[in-house]
């Protein structure tokens, strides 16, 4: 078996060979702990029937661990300078394909159709660049891709927000958006000392298992998320104040909002962070009817 990429010595050797310098704007921090990478791969529960989408492979440290366990790995890399490095480090793995593209602009569904015709199961596994973590996760979920789930390393603070429960300081619109589509769990924390260069924050690995259907039934998905975002827009304000000030025509609809809250037995003085996803679903389903009647 080839020598692991994710050691300090091998990583330095590769960086020196290519004269590679880190770009802060791309959030480049390379992992130098093989055990942590293997654990990440374990959490993804891969088999020789699995296709993997990776985002931001860097110099290929996680990619090679994935390639050893999955049938095929397709990795999106935005930094052109890394392409010759990846061609070199991943040469022993013919089941890897690198796509030079910004994943946020990619047609991932089309790529999956082209690359994964022979696999039964698809997972997303990645060490995500911190500066675009949330947009990438939301794209993967909102595109309704035929994937089993997502295992990603990201900033611990964002992982805490994604897996947060009602009534906690981390709970917010991101928690609800991700938990609407998936079952979310933080499976491990990762210290900053196992990266070069060292980031300023600790990391965590989250596992998102895609639900067969969303966590709650909503009449209008986009209005549901509008209600959720409005409810958290100013965390210190009550649910009534936030909905009135943030929903379109909310001020004109204040009486209707108050009436619906009363009917649902939701105290109008509560704050958004205390409402469960089920309460948000009931609230949006009742409010959307009011909005449509006045439209």
d(CA 110, CA 101): 14
Beta strand 149-155 pairing with 203-210: antiparallel
Name the β-bridge partners of 55: 76
Contact 61/84 with Cβ under 8 angstroms? no
294 class by beta-carbon count within 10 Å (0-12 exposed, 13-18 middle, 19+ buried): exposed
Residue 126 and residue 60 in contact, taking contact as beta carbons nearer than 8 Å: no
Nearest to 79 by CA among 37, 135, 21: 21
Query: Any known ligand binding at 267?
Result: no
Q: Which two tokens stand for residue 18?
A: 């290519």
Q: Is 56 known as a binding-site position?
A: yes
- C-alpha 35/C-alpha 45 separation (Å) is 16
Residue 45 is labelled as binding a ligand: no
Is there a binding annotation on residue 29? yes
HSE, side-chain direction, 13 A CA sphere, residue 74? 21
Residue in 122, 158, 281 with CA at minimum distance from that of residue 214: 281
CA atoms within 13 A on the CB side of 277: 23
Residue 200 among known ligand-binding residues: no
**Any known ligand binding at 273?**
no
Where is the binding site, in residues?
Answer: 29, 31, 56, 77, 102, 127
Where is the binding site for S-adenosyl-L-methionine, in residues?
Answer: 29, 31, 56, 77, 102, 127
């Amino acid at each position: 078996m080839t020598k692991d990429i994710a050691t300090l010595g091998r990583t330095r050797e590769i960086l020196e060979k290519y004269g590679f310098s880190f770009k802060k704007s791309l959030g480049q921090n390379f992992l130098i702990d093989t055990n942590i990478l293997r654990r990440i791969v374990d959490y993804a529960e891969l088999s020789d029937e699995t296709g993997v989408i990776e985002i931001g492979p860097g110099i290929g440290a996680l990619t090679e661990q994935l390639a050893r366990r999955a049938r095929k790995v397709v990795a999106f890399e935005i930094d052109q300078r890394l392409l010759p490095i990846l061609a070199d480090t991943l040469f022993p793995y013919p089941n890897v394909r690198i796509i030079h593209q910004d994943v946020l602009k990619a047609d991932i569904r089309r790529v999956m159709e082209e690359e994964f015709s022979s696999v039964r199961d698809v997972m997303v596994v990645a060490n995500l660049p911190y500066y675009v973590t949330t947009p990438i996760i939301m794209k993967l979920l909102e595109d309704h891709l035929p994937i089993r789930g997502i295992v990603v390393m990201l900033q611990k603070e964002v992982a805490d927000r994604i897996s947060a429960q009602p009534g906690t300081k981390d709970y917010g619109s991101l928690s609800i958006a991700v938990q609407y589509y998936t079952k979310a769990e933080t499976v491990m924390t990762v210290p900053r000392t196992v990266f070069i260069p060292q980031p300023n924050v600790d990391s965590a690995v989250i596992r998102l298992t895609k639900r067969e259907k969303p966590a709650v039934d909503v009449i209008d998905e986009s209005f549901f998320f509008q209600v959720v975002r409005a409810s958290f827009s100013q965390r210190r304000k009550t649910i009534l104040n936030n909905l009135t000030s943030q929903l379109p025509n909310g001020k004109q609809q204040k009486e209707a909002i108050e009436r619906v809250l009363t009917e649902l037995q939701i105290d109008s003085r509560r704050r958004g962070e205390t409402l469960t996803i089920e309460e948000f679903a009931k609230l949006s389903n009742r409010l959307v009817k009011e909005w449509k009647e006045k439209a």
